[in-house]
Amino acid sequence: MYRKISSVWISLLILFGGEIHVGAYLGISWGRMATQKLVPSMIVDLLLQNGISELRLFQPSFHVLDAFADTNIGLIVTLQENYLKNVVEQKQLDDYIHERIKVYSEKGVKFRYVYVGNEPFTKSLYMKKQFNGTIRYLNMTREALDKFNLPDVKATTPHFTDVLTNVSKPSEGDFREDIKGKMLEFLDCINRTGAPFVIHMFPIFTVYTYGFDVDFAFFNNKSKFKIVDGNNTYTNLFTFMYDTLVSALAKAGYGDMEIIVGQIGWPTDGYVSANEKNAEKFNRGLLQYIARKEGTPLRPNRDINMYLLSLTDENLVVTDYGPYQRHWGVYKHDGVPKYKIDFTLQNRDVKPSVAKGTTYVELRDHLDNFLGFI
Ligand SMILES: *[C@@H]1O[C@H](CO)[C@@H](O)[C@H](O)[C@H]1NC(C)=O
Ligand SMILES: *[C@@H]1O[C@H](CO)[C@@H](O)[C@H](O)[C@H]1NC(C)=O
Ligand SMILES: *[C@@H]1O[C@H](CO)[C@@H](O)[C@H](O)[C@H]1NC(C)=O
Ligand SMILES: *[C@@H]1O[C@H](CO)[C@@H](O)[C@H](O)[C@H]1NC(C)=O
Ligand SMILES: *[C@@H]1O[C@H](CO)[C@@H](O)[C@H](O)[C@H]1NC(C)=O
Ligand SMILES: *[C@@H]1O[C@H](CO)[C@@H](O)[C@H](O)[C@H]1NC(C)=O
């Protein structure tokens, strides 16, 4: 798998002639709940222009998958809960995996992960909808992938950091008591099938929830605030959050489990300190941190693979949690970049290129998405 990623970087290197780091990758997610959408072929161009080799999609739509054939861009697709809840027997899932993953693999789409649902154990609003079937559907998805001989496509489910208890230092990290049984079942399942633990983390929320100095959320060493934990000192929130998860996994018996940061970012509106200046600052620090490959005190000198949230704003996303949900994009929903970011991890002072090729989409076409978006 890592060899394949390297070859993407190498081909980008040839394409752009730049000095590109091999190893850790930075992906991005692309949601399509906007009145103006970039057409999939433009997205492919945009990713290639920006040197982004990995993309997370929220739905495996046929016409989107078509655009990724033979592109070498690694894809994550999500099986949405509104789809899964109608699955009663294995055959349905087999057919779905066949038509969307197997057939497209044969057309040269490079699938990395299939997400089965999204943040099922999260505590806040969605508690009421807590998704009971996650592990069963995870099992069924794995079975279908195996049936079609797709052992390298891993099935997992992403979680939000609120699956963890609140801590004062990372070594206290543990999973919430009310979900611990389910989480252990889940961990057994992904460990058995060699899938990673995917965490969605949002330092902008955690820094305020915990009442930390906001500078602690950036990676610029401006904060005087530190957290000392035994022999380890934490100077930024990301490493604090990451090692809290590492500790929780270790207590559950999975100290070496691979972790992927499935969503991380900084919105530009709709939340305290959410603006373009801070988003640029956060991403600049984060990308330099990835490039330095320093890892965290509990996992030093390691690559950490991450997916930024997100490529474009989505002006039709439901805002159950808050208005910031529509403002995660590096690009506005019409394809204009908001701030500077160098996806090639070289810290150049560049704005991404303007995207061409947006199409206006009728509101009624989004009804399915509205019902399904979790
Ligand atoms: C979850 O599923 C199990 C087994 O199918 C069932 O017994 C249980 O009542 C369900 N719980 C909820 C909250 O739906
Ligand atoms: C998932 O599969 C494992 C291994 O076959 C099995 O032990 C477990 O009971 C299954 N869980 C569910 C909820 O289907
Ligand atoms: C952690 O703290 C926040 C803010 O005080 C609270 O909303 C949340 O419920 C706490 N989480 C747990 C697992 O106790
Ligand atoms: C996790 O998987 C690895 C590799 O298959 C295995 O050696 C290890 O025992 C598993 N861990 C647990 C706690 O089951
Ligand atoms: C922050 O400070 C630490 C410890 O002094 C140092 O190792 C690290 O390189 C600094 N990071 C940045 C981004 O300046
Ligand atoms: C801290 O470091 C010292 C000296 O290396 C070592 O003896 C001690 O066990 C460490 N403590 C912890 C909690 O790791």
What integer best gives the mean pLDDT of the chain?
85
Pocket test for ligand 3, best of 127, 209, 210, 241 (most atoms within 8 A of CB): 209
**Residue 230 Cα: closest atom of ligand 6:** 13
Of residues 39, 3, 15, 117, the one with CA closest to residue 344:
15
Q: Which CATH superfamily is domain 2-371 in?
A: Glycosidases (3.20.20.80)
Sorting pLDDT into bands at 50, 70 and 90, what band is 371? very low
Q: How far is C-alpha 298 from the chain's CA centre?
A: 22
Is 172 among the residues known to form the active site? no
Contacts of 336 (CB under 8 A, 6+ apart): 354, 355
Q: What dihedral do alpha carbons 314, 54, 265, 257 form, nearest 10°?
A: 130
pLDDT per residue as tens digits for the range 319-362 = 677 778 878 888 887 788 999 999 888 889 988 887 776 665 54
Kindly list the distances between the CA atom of residue 311 and the CA atoms of 106, 145, 183, 266, in Å, as whole numbers in the listed order. 27, 28, 30, 12
Classify residue 363 by burial, with Cβ atoms within 10 Å: 0-12, 13-18, 19+. Answer: exposed
Question: Out of 119, 172, 258, 294, which one is annotated catalytic?
Answer: 119
Picking from 22-36, 202-216, 268-282, 324-338, which range would have the lowest pLDDT averaged per residue?
22-36
User: Can you give the pLDDT at residue 127?
Assistant: 53
The number of the ligand nearest the C-alpha atom of 90 reads 2
Asked if pLDDT for residue 232 goes beyond 80, the answer is: yes
pLDDT for position 260: 97
Task: Report the alpha-carbon distance of residue 64 to residue 62 in Å, rounded.
Answer: 5
Model pLDDT, residue 189: 97
Asked whether residue 364 carries a pLDDT value surpassing 90, the answer given is: no
The yes-or-no verdict on residue 13 having pLDDT over 50 is: no
pLDDT tens track for 83-103: 998 999 999 999 999 999 999
- Ligand 6 pocket member 228 (CB < 6 A): no
* Residue range 143-201, pLDDT digits in tens: 999 999 999 999 999 999 999 999 999 999 999 998 999 999 999 999 999 999 999 99
List, in sequence order, the alpha helices (H) in the chain. Answer: 2-16, 40-50, 62-67, 81-84, 90-97, 103-106, 134-147, 180-192, 203-209, 237-251, 276-292, 367-372
Question: What is the Cα–Cα distance from 217 to 169, expressed in whole angstroms?
Answer: 15
C-alpha count within 13 angstroms, C-beta hemisphere, residue 317: 23
Residue 49 predicted with pLDDT over 50: yes
Q: Which protein residue has the closest C-alpha to ligand 3 atom 1? A: 166
For residue 357, the model assigns a pLDDT of: 61
For 216-245, what is the mean pLDDT? 94
